[in-house]
Amino acid sequence: MSYKIVFDRPAEKQFRRLPAEVRQPLARRVSALAENPRPPDSRKLEGTNDCYRLRQGDYRLVYTILEDRIVVLVLRVGHRGDVYRGIPDLVRAVRKRKRRSDSG
């Protein structure tokens, strides 16, 4: 089963702003998430139920897996010092937004 990769709008902008030498290898790793959303080098984030992170040098990609939709949703991309701020609030907001779009 192949997962669909979806970037939250702010995460897409963050990804595009990355230096090319970081963006290109990270893009390959994101593509690989479609086949295996929990690769051995991903780590589950503490304090969240279902958020994971991938490392690429000093940069991190934070994502969640929406099993009911077979989607890997990229929430944030950035430098390791900044990327984790506000993640639990971000996850709640994204899930709330997704629930509203499902019911409408």
Q: What is the pTM of this model?
A: 0.85
- Structure-block tokens of residue 54: 């991938």
What are the Cα distances from residue 73, in Å, to 12, 66, 88? 11, 7, 14
Packed helices 20-32 and 9-17: angle between N→C axes, nearest 10 degrees: 140
Task: Decide if pLDDT at 88 tops 60.
Answer: yes
Task: Decide if pLDDT at 104 tops 60.
Answer: no
Task: Decide if pLDDT at 103 tops 70.
Answer: no
Across 20-29, 56-65, 77-86, least confident range: 77-86
Q: Yes or no: is domain 4-103 CATH 3.30.2310.20?
A: yes
Task: Decide if pLDDT at 24 tops 90.
Answer: yes
